Structure 1
Amino acid sequence: MQRYNILWADDEIDLLKPHILFLENKGYDITAVNSGNDAVDCCEESHFDVVFLDENMPGMSGLEALGHIKSMKPNLPVVMITKSEEEQIMEDAIGAKIADYLIKPLNPSQILLSVKKILDNKRLITEKTNLNYQQEFRNISMSFGDDLDHEEWADIYKKLIYWELEIDNTENKSMYEVLNMQKDEANTQFTRFIRDNYESWLNDPNVDKPMLSHQLMREKVFNKVKKGEKSVFFLVIDNLRSDQWKMIEPAVTEYFNVEEEDTYYSILPTTTAYARNSIFSGLLPSEMEHKHPDLWVGEDEDEGKNNHEHEFLERQIRRLNSDIKFSYHKIKHTSEGKQLVDNINNLLNNDLNVIVYNFVDMLSHARTDMAMVRELAPDESAYRSITKSWIEHSPLLDALRLIAESGSKLIVTTDHGTIRVKKPFKIVGDRNTNSNLRYKQGKNLGYSSKDNLLEAPKPERFYLPKLNVSTSYVFATEDQFFAYPNNYNYYVNYYKDTFQHGGVSMEEMIIPIISLNSKYGK
């Protein structure tokens, strides 16, 4: 087992001999000095894993020694020890980035806890996390045999995300392979659940069903909007998975309290063209095609599929006989994000402000197309990390701070998630077949096996448009992606291990929807 070196500086160091012997018996090597100057000299000459500094020493004080040590070795953990409980001393020490703060008289367990928290933190967290997940693994796996409903599947997905993030914080991520196997099994069972239930959700008014994309604004947004009260901001971050939300949540909750964290299910296909248009129109795709033919853009058209979200939203509001004043903003570039920040005060005059942020979608596409981004985000953990870094340095965070300071309510969601695809699935289509890797629409789709797919031979039962009488849809499930037999190796090499959406998986379909209240309480 690794031995750690501790430097302890106190002008009454002899009185601390029992504590030093206690730590040495626990396996720590202690160097004892009785002045701040000696502490600084020792740090300059030798390596230590942690430093204990008495705050009130004659000559160079503990706070002064702390400043010198941090300037030499900024990452060396320092524990400040003092008899004083003065707030100013505490603030000075904390401001100098101490690792812990102990108040005399000391007791052995208090000291040992501080040392373990600093030096053995990762090992202890790893051991405890791995043990707890091993215990939970059996419970989750056994639940797959039950007849789960949509709420229970959402709960399983939340549990798997929780453990994925917990394991991600362990030293060697030794349980990651086991977790990934359990996620794969969960998605296999989830595919069967969707195959058995999705069509009835859309067609049977009496069946138990989750909230779907087209119901989202009626059930979670419009009921929060009240004329004459504070604005409601509805933020849709394109392509945001639940695990990515958990990464950006700490940044958002600097300014907001979470009032409610819920889920809804994305419609199929889980793509921006279908799912996000469904959110803003309040309609399913075939209903959009029939009721708003001037706005709907089909698969056979070259025009962008999401150029009419503002109009869809406006017509949904009109259809609901609402006279709310609203705005719509789509942010695709940093400059647009900065313009949004500058415009926040003007938006406070609206009842509802809808903001679509496209960064995460652009990140997933960039990761597919650019080798450098693939290197930066080789797996889910790194992908989450980039999302976290983005929010922390994005104009969006400035906008959220201003929204919170105004006392407005915030609702955060997305239109669909993504999954990292690994297994190619051969499919044949004519030249009019769409290019998405997770679903195909066409009249002559050819494939050898139906076992791992979700088929929609009658698109009208899925409320999907038909280009002609023989049009059908097929959806990839789990971590598959479609590849054509010609150029097969190119497709496999280029798209394997990329993040895609459009098909059936927990990651793509189970979507977070979070309602937040300002911490400023205006």
Structure 2
Amino acid sequence: MSAPRILWVDDEIDLLRSHVMFLENKDYEVQTTSNGADAVDYVREDLFDVVLLDEQMPGMDGLETLEAIKEVRPELPVVLVTKSEEEDLMERALGNQISDYLTKPVNPSQILLTCKRLLERTQLRQETLSQDYLESFNEISQALREPLTHADWTALYRKLVHYDLELTEDEGARQIFQDQFKEANREFGNFIESNYADWIDATDAPPDPNRPPLSHEVISEFVLPELGDDPVVFFVIDCLRYDQWRTFEELLHPHFSIETDFYYSLLPTATPYSRNAIFSGLLPVELVDRFPGAWETDEEDEHSRNQHEEPFLHDQLDRHHYGDLSIRYDKLITGKEGQEFAQQATNLTQHDLSAVVVNFVDILAHSRSDSDVLKELAPDEEAYRALTRTWFEHSWLLDSLRTLADTDCTVVLTTDHGAIRSLRSSKVIGDRETSTALRYKYGRNLKCDEEDAIFVRNPKEFGLPRYGMNTNYIFAKEDFYFVYPTNFHHYENLYRDTLQHGGASMQEMILPIATLTPR
């Protein structure tokens, strides 16, 4: 590895020769200059890891030089060395993005520690994280061998997402982590298979700590209790996972106090089931009975099966005796719709409850499956998260939330399901009437490897409608996706490494629901 390179800018640099030699003896390469103009030229023509910049220099002073350096290399760390600690100076320097400042006179050890902190903090942090994870590895492995509750699984998933977000540089530790994540998802699928029917059976009873809140209970448990003097704005972001929410949360913390809870998506973890359940407050089998004909069984166009969310919401509020509320509902699919919405975001506070469905993240997930360009931009989980964050950071949605942060309201934000990179195929046999989704299917006499899927032979036990006497469902576990035997290898390759939902994985089922209160 090459020596870290420091550019030291000071009009009395000759008096600092002993300091420079000290750094060079510590294996730093130090380039010196006595004026700001030359410093900007050096930065433009060469690569440095950090700049030590004197604040008081004739000609271009330190702040002017800092501004010029940031125009050339905005990411380059700059340490301002100053005789003054005036508040105004520090505010202007911080506004120009200095990484640190030192007050003269400085000694060589101060300089060394500052450079070491700036240049090595990423490496040191990764080493600490890697060690922390490796110490947690046995703890997680032991937990996976024990009976876990739904709350235990949520805590474990949160821990895994933490390491997924932070453990980015140590390839060895990350490979161990990814293998353990796969193992955890395998056990999670078995957990869902063993417990889900009991959860559905218990939904008519009073709240049971032995089961998590489910999709059809989101509004009653998390939204209605917030109704009071201030209006409530309820956002449902289609196909948003917890790891993506964590990156959104960072951008919202300056504007809101945030409390994040969790619920579990119903199966299948797909929009027609999970989001209809959120707005109706009903299990899919109950929804079909209460609104015959409102839910089309043709799933070629997924969005056509979510055309009745607004009347479903009104019906649910009526059942909970909130029928006299002023209600607003928006579903935003295109960027133009979102921008128009953001310009009028304050209008949401004119209603007791506003419900807003945001489809972009789901569109992004499906587009990645169909676009070689997006696959190149987001080849793995880390890059997909970064792509989603970049959208949010510059989106009409963030603009809308910032606007709401300046009002007296409560924001409840959640998702209907997550998604998983589907990397392994599972051969499935069914007739022509079998549904077309890749992570779940329903039809007559479906067959596939029972290790790869949850088989539902009695749909009512899972709260699901039956479309014929012999209807059964299968839900993919782990990262499997279903492929028919006909042209198997063609479709196996076509759908491998696409983002899908509908099955039983932590990413699809364990979902954040955040309550945001303006600061």
- Which TM-score applies when normalising by structure 1? 0.93
Cα separation, partners in 2 of 1:48 and 1:380, compared to 1, 3 Å: closer
2:220 is matched with which residue?
218
- The Cα shift of 1:179 comes to 1.4
Cα separation, partners in 2 of 1:69 and 1:202, compared to 1, 3 Å: closer
Contact 2:330 2:357 in 1 (8 A): yes
Task: Work out the CA distance in 1 between the residues paired with 2:409 and 2:328.
Answer: 15
Residues 43-192 of structure 1 mapped to structure 2, 5 A cutoff = 43=43, 47-168=47-168, 170=169, 173-192=171-190
- The Cα shift of 1:239 comes to 0.2
Contact 1:6 1:52 in 2 (8 A): yes
- Output the amino acid matched with 1:403: L
Cα separation, partners in 2 of 1:313 and 1:38, compared to 1, 3 Å: closer
The yes-or-no answer on 1:308 pairing with 2:329 is no
Uncovered stretches (5+) of structure 2, i.e. residues with no partner: none
2:386 is matched with which residue?
385
Residue-by-residue CA offset, 1:221-271 (whole Å, 9 max, x unaligned): 011011xx221111110000001111111222232121x211100010100
Residues 427-466 of structure 1 mapped to structure 2, 5 A cutoff = 427-447=428-448, 449-466=449-466
**Which of 190, 193, 216 is the equivalent residue of 2:191?**
193
Task: Work out the CA distance in 2 between the residues paired with 1:224 and 1:141.
Answer: 39
Residues 25-40 of structure 1 mapped to structure 2, 5 A cutoff = 25-36=25-36, 39-40=39-40
- The Cα shift of 1:272 comes to 0.3
Task: Work out the CA distance in 2 between the residues paired with 1:393 and 1:279.
Answer: 28
Task: Work out the CA distance in 2 between the residues paired with 1:247 and 1:68.
Answer: 31
Residues 311-322 of structure 1 mapped to structure 2, 5 A cutoff = 311-322=311-322
- The Cα shift of 1:464 comes to 0.5
Aligned length: 513
- Output the amino acid matched with 2:517: N
Secondary structure of 2:251's counterpart equals helix
Cα separation, partners in 2 of 1:73 and 1:273, compared to 1, 3 Å: closer
Residues 371-382 of structure 1 mapped to structure 2, 5 A cutoff = 371-382=372-383
Contact 2:453 2:475 in 1 (8 A): yes
Task: Work out the CA distance in 2 between the residues paired with 1:468 and 1:60.
Answer: 81
Contact 1:200 1:207 in 2 (8 A): no
Residues 210-359 of structure 1 mapped to structure 2, 5 A cutoff = 210-226=212-228, 229-258=229-258, 260-299=259-298, 304-322=304-322, 323-359=324-360
- Output the amino acid matched with 1:438: R
User: In terms of mean alpha carbon deviation, does 484-493 or 91-100 score higher?
Assistant: 91-100
Contact 1:364 1:499 in 2 (8 A): yes
- The Cα shift of 1:105 comes to 3.7
Cα separation, partners in 2 of 1:435 and 1:138, compared to 1, 3 Å: same
Contact 2:426 2:480 in 1 (8 A): yes
Cα separation, partners in 2 of 1:42 and 1:212, compared to 1, 3 Å: closer
1:512 is matched with which residue?
512
Secondary structure of 2:304's counterpart equals coil
- Which TM-score applies when normalising by structure 2? 0.93
1:370 is matched with which residue?
371
Task: Work out the CA distance in 2 between the residues paired with 1:41 and 1:218.
Answer: 63
Residue-by-residue CA offset, 1:83-105 (whole Å, 9 max, x unaligned): 21122222332333333222234
Contact 2:233 2:348 in 1 (8 A): no
- The Cα shift of 1:72 comes to 4.8
Cα separation, partners in 2 of 1:125 and 1:325, compared to 1, 3 Å: same
Contact 1:237 1:357 in 2 (8 A): yes
Task: Work out the CA distance in 1 between the residues paired with 2:362 and 2:148.
Answer: 31
Residue-by-residue CA offset, 1:104-154 (whole Å, 9 max, x unaligned): 343444322321233223322222222221111221111101111000100
- Output the amino acid matched with 1:277: N
Contact 2:424 2:480 in 1 (8 A): yes
- The Cα shift of 1:56 comes to 1.5
- Output the amino acid matched with 1:209: R
Contact 1:421 1:497 in 2 (8 A): yes
- Output the amino acid matched with 1:261: T
- Output the amino acid matched with 2:163: W
- Output the amino acid matched with 1:452: D
Contact 1:201 1:207 in 2 (8 A): no
Task: Work out the CA distance in 2 between the residues paired with 1:221 and 1:289.
Answer: 24
- Output the amino acid matched with 1:296: W
Uncovered stretches (5+) of structure 1, i.e. residues with no partner: none
Secondary structure of 2:195's counterpart equals helix
Secondary structure of 1:88's counterpart equals helix
Cα separation, partners in 2 of 1:109 and 1:137, compared to 1, 3 Å: farther
Cα separation, partners in 2 of 1:81 and 1:480, compared to 1, 3 Å: same
Task: Work out the CA distance in 2 between the residues paired with 1:377 and 1:44.
Answer: 31
User: In terms of mean alpha carbon deviation, does 5-14 or 419-428 score higher?
Assistant: 5-14
Contact 1:272 1:415 in 2 (8 A): yes
Task: Work out the CA distance in 2 between the residues paired with 1:32 and 1:192.
Answer: 63
Task: Work out the CA distance in 1 between the residues paired with 2:45 and 2:482.
Answer: 61
- Output the amino acid matched with 1:413: T
Contact 2:426 2:452 in 1 (8 A): no
User: In terms of mean alpha carbon deviation, does 73-82 or 33-42 score higher?
Assistant: 33-42
Secondary structure of 2:167's counterpart equals helix
Task: Work out the CA distance in 2 between the residues paired with 1:105 and 1:295.
Answer: 76
**Which of 211, 221, 230 is the equivalent residue of 1:209?**
211
1:404 is matched with which residue?
405
Task: Work out the CA distance in 1 between the residues paired with 2:319 and 2:344.
Answer: 28
